[in-house]
Structure 1
Amino acid sequence: MRTGIGFDTHRFSPGIPLFLGGINIPFDFGLLGYSDGDVLIHSVIDSILGACSLGDIGDYFPSSDSDFENISSLILLEKTNEIIKKSSWDIVNIDATIVAEKPRLKKFVGEMENSLSIILKISLDQINIKSTSTDGLGMIGKGEGISVLSIATVQK
């Protein structure tokens, strides 16, 4: 059994949708990114790949590759699951903390967990997502973006 950590941060940008865990969250700003900016999925991908000692998200889905421009991060997560399955890894558990001053995300957590469960083909009791704020401190506290810290446990 092995564990990996993922972390990602994206800045808010007006005029684009906000996706977290594949769910379109109603908000005035989205997250700027080469794909759809889904910071939760990006962090989870890194934690899964790290646990399997298979590199990081940029190794498989580089921003220099136009195939990944504006792509749904759900597709990237699905491809990541295929990559780890080829190496005989299974996900035991995913735990993630979304750090955002706004929007308030607690009411969307169940939908996010369900979305990840479907794509990763694991049960809901293997996924836990939480949200917190920084109480006004730093770039997150100023409402400039969102960060996510995640941990994945895998086994062969």
Structure 2
Amino acid sequence: MARVGLGYDVHRLVPGRKLVLGGEVIPYEKGLLGHSDADVLVHAACDALLGAAGMGDIGEHFPDTDPAYRGIYSIELLTRVYRRVRSMGLMLVNMDATIFAEAPKLSPYKSQMARHMAQSMAVDQGQINIKATTTEGLGAIGRGEGIAAMCIVFLQ
């Protein structure tokens, strides 16, 4: 049986936090605000995987009210989510993701992000495609107030 899932996440940029995307620490003056490391790319991937498997969303599995997840490296959440997906007899065929950010420039980090995510799920890096784009200065993301990510997965 083939299944498709879509995930989306957005977090506010704030000073004093590391910017983590796809498990990669990106040098930047701000980081994303959240209960965990606020990795929007990984959170969108988790939601896409959970959605494709019919297992709800990331907040149901790892609530931000649970102190156990405070500051957690989101790549660990991706590992746990993919284990749950695999336990249902499903496996990743491919993942396609887009990061929406006015800054910093993310092109130099896309392959490292894909590598971290692939390793966390024990899949081939070629199954993961990551793109980055701006919003041409429009909206909160365009003003540099936050970063968003969208991800679609195909499971079989």
Q: Distance in 1 between matches of 2:3 and 2:86?
A: 15
The alignment status of 1:54 with 2:55, answered yes or no, reads yes
Unpaired runs of at least 5, structure 1:
none
Partner of residue 73, structure 1: 74
State the TM-score, normalized to the length of structure 1.
0.98
CA deviation after TM superposition for structure 1 residue 88, in Å? 1.1
Alignment RMSD, CA only?
0.6
CA distance in 1, matches of 2:110, 2:153: 17
Gaps of 5+ in 2: none
Structure 1 counterpart of 2:45: 44
Q: Partner amino acid for 2:48?
A: S
- Given the two structures, how large is their TM-score scaled by the length of structure 2? 0.98
Q: What is the identity percentage for the equivalent residue pairs of Structure 1 and Structure 2? A: 44
Counterpart-to-counterpart distance in 2, 1:93 and 1:77: 15
Q: CA deviation at 1:73?
A: 0.1
Equivalent-residue separation in structure 2 for 1:60 and 1:82 (angstroms): 13
State yes or no: 1:100 paired with 2:101: yes
Give the deviation of 1:111 after TM superposition. 0.3
CA distance in 2: counterparts of 1:92 and 1:121, whole angstroms: 12
CA distance in 2, matches of 1:81, 1:140: 29
Q: Deviations over 1:99-133 (max 9, x none)?
A: 00000100100100111110111111110000000
Moved more, 76-85 or 38-47: 76-85
Partner of 1:115: 116
1:76-103: CA deviations, max 9, x gaps?
A: 0111011111111101111000000000
Question: Whole-Å Cα distance in 1 between the matches of residues 25 and 148 of structure 2?
Answer: 17
* SS across alignment from 1:104: coil
Which secondary structure does the structure 1 equivalent of 2:118 belong to? Answer: helix
Work out the number of aligned pairs and report it: 155
Query: Cα deviations across residues 124-147 of structure 1 (Å, max 9, x unaligned)?
Result: 111000000000000000000100
Equivalent-residue separation in structure 2 for 1:129 and 1:69 (angstroms): 26
